[in-house]
Chains A and B, each alone.
Chain A
Amino acid sequence: MRAVEARPVAPVQPVVFAVPPGQLIWRRLKRNRSAMVGAITVGILATIAVFAPWVSPYDPIKNDLANSMVAPGSRFLLGTDNLGRDILSRVIFGSRISLTVGLVVQSTAVTIGTLLGLLAGYYRGPLDDGVSGLTNIMFAFPSFLFALAIMAVLGPSLYNVFIALGVVGWPTICRLVRGEALSLRSKDFVEAARAGGASDLRIMLRHILPNSLGPIIVAATLGVAGAILAEASLSFLGLGAQPPAPSWGSMLSRGRAYIWNAPWLTFFPGLAIFVAILGLNLLGDGLRDVLDPRLRH
């Protein structure tokens, strides 16, 4: 009798993409004109923020009372403020504050939101009830007002802005990831992984998370814009960055008193906020078109 030859199990064929998915997304993104405008704007802003000490013509903090309230011109391109500080230099350094706030706040929000959302959507049951309950409480308040209340408790400072905006930011991501996890957990490829003996942790991190990455990236990009606007608003209200820090929001707040005779004090910092948020929103919308085919229009 011939020994039954163990039939070789057909090796699992890896899915072969004609083009790697990353490149495919990049190609589609390149064709999306508004996304590219957004990406370039954000890229320029980030470059300015990184190289701020080299590109800014003057010291953003040091007073120069001999040159106070100089109108925009050849020496001070965007003019100077009441303490003689160069507006352009302050706007340049302000990009550091804004982008740091945006990135730190959204990293916090994405980390907490993704973690809780994955656990809630994957395990369901009481854990999900708890997490969903918590997010629903957070959604009962308009989020900016909630951040305001947290700032009232913690006291005004840029550091506390990080905390307040992080606390109000995570539920959006959490709800999103929970929904994704909930729908993905019963898909065939997840069942297959489970049948193959993958642990819960592995399923969550290797199968569910990568497949919900698109919506997370979109929400995080738009979230950075939201965080920057919220920081600017809090600083405008006197609750965020404290003087002499060159935060765009607090520049506007201080410049308000001089709007009659020196409108450049408020115009340029505000323009910077507008451009930053517009760029991030364009990029976020473009990413949505590319990454989330369900929402095409």
Chain B
Amino acid sequence: MEATRARAGCCGGIAEMLSYVIRRVIALLPVLLIVATVGFLLIHLTPGDPAAVMLGPDAAPDEVERARHEMGLDLPLPVQFLRWYGRVLRGDLGYSIFLDRPVIQAIVERLEPTMLLTGMSLAIALAIGVPTGVWAAVRHNTIVDQACMGFALAGVSIPNFWLGLNLILLFSIYLGLFPVAGYTPLAEGVLRSLQSLVLPAITLGSGASGLIARITRSSMLEVLGQDFVRTARAKGLRERLVIFHHALRNALIPTVTVIGLAVGALLAGAVVTETVFALPGVGRLVISSVLRRDYPLIQGALLFLAMIYVLVNLAVDILYVYLDPRVKYV
């Protein structure tokens, strides 16, 4: 009977769930507005004339004037501000003079490697992090625990560009198992594409796997100390069943919340990892635009990545409420 009630609490509230999702999406609007404002301010906080800075010291005055006009910098500030909002709402993130194409197009063209890389890294991080954390918790205070946590700490501490270079050295240069760098698009074969991302994904996922292992271990330890686990053991269930069926399902809830955080770190880490492995993704686009001072592109890419980050965290929050019936839809 207890079980039926719990089930009703979990799935009976589809309407409740839906209204929660809608409320959360509406609550997202001010955040996106602020993100857009920060993106706008970015250009206007630049010391000096952004158009002149962007084109460099050799640019002719009329070229600078034309760039100013194209970027709308010759308009009064409030007009620029409103125009910026209007454009962002329509999904128009501006025009990159350097790449000679709309910012959004430049981003979309580079999206495939970044999304695949981030996804693969997260998968690797979970595949390594969760079992490591569980194993450490089950063997609490033993050499296994210490080894697992040492491994996790190393994962959190290792600079991913250094790990990447070492992996290239070992697997590509000495052993010749993987391509040194570069990306094979999905269109040229899924398998080859994934193969070109194996080393980058391990590189990028190492930090997140350490983080996930540590969170999983501590929440697993907490759950293993609870009464219902003792009850499960007392009624003679096999240890395997207790750990995987009873404890793990509850212990994974904090792990889910950390995924949102991890995706932020992965998106930021993609900038570095794509540079190490010469992957033509959004991260490298960001870096080259920063080095060239291509302001519309920096603005657009920052906005785009922040939006992904915010949306992933929203998805995680919703998943969290779904997984943990104790959490109310507030």
Contacts and interface: CB of A to CB of B under 8 A. Distances in A.
Given A143-B268, A144-B268, A270-B166, A151 B290 contact: yes
A144 B269 CA distance: 8
Given A140-B31, A141-B35, A297-B217, A252 B306 contact: no
A293 to B, nearest CB: 14
A118 interface: no
Contacts of B264: 142-143
Contacts of B154: 278
Contact of B34 (A137, A148, A277): A137
Interface in A120-154: 136-137, 140-146, 148-149, 151-154
Which of A141, A267, A273 has the largest count of B CB atoms less than 10 A from its CB?
A: A141
A263 B166 CA distance: 9
Contacts of A232: 159, 161
Given A142-B268, A145-B267, A273 B162 contact: yes
Interface residues of A, number: 43
Interface stretch (B14-22, B38-46, B245-253, B319-327): B38-46
A144 B271 contact: yes
Contact of A142 (B161, B276, B305): B305
A281 B161 contact: no
A189 B310 CA distance: 40
Interface in B89-143: none
Interface string B16-55: 0000000000000001001100100010011100000000
B165 A252 contact: yes
Given A237-B287, A260-B173, A145 B159 contact: no
Contact of B286 (A145, A153, A273): A145
A145 B305 contact: yes
B169 A225 contact: no
A233 interface: yes
A86 interface: no
B201 interface: no
B258 to A, nearest CB: 14
Contacts of A271: 162
B187 interface: no
Contact of B45 (A153, A270, A277, A295): A153
Contacts of B268: 142-145, 148
A202 B291 CA distance: 48
Interface in A151-168: 151-156
B298 interface: yes
A285 interface: yes
Contacts of B68: none
Given A144-B271, A148-B271, A259-B173, A266 B165 contact: yes
Nearest to A148: B290
A143 B156 CA distance: 16
Contact of B46 (A153, A156, A252): A153
Contact of A140 (B35, B265, B286): B35
A281 B38 CA distance: 32
B161 A149 contact: no
A277 B159 contact: yes
Given A237-B287, A285-B153, A297-B217, A141 B159 contact: no
24 contacts: A136-B31, A137-B35, A141-B309, A142-B264, A142-B265, A143-B268, A144-B265, A145-B268, A145-B286, A148-B287, A155-B293, A225-B157, A236-B275, A237-B287, A252-B161, A256-B276, A259-B168, A259-B173, A266-B165, A267-B166, A273-B162, A274-B157, A277-B159, A285-B153
Given A140-B306, A142-B306, A252-B162, 8 more contacts: A137-B34, A140-B309, A145-B271, A148-B302, A233-B161, A252-B165, A270-B166, A282-B153
Interchain residue pairs A-B with the least CB separation, the first 3: A270-B162, A144-B268, A142-B264
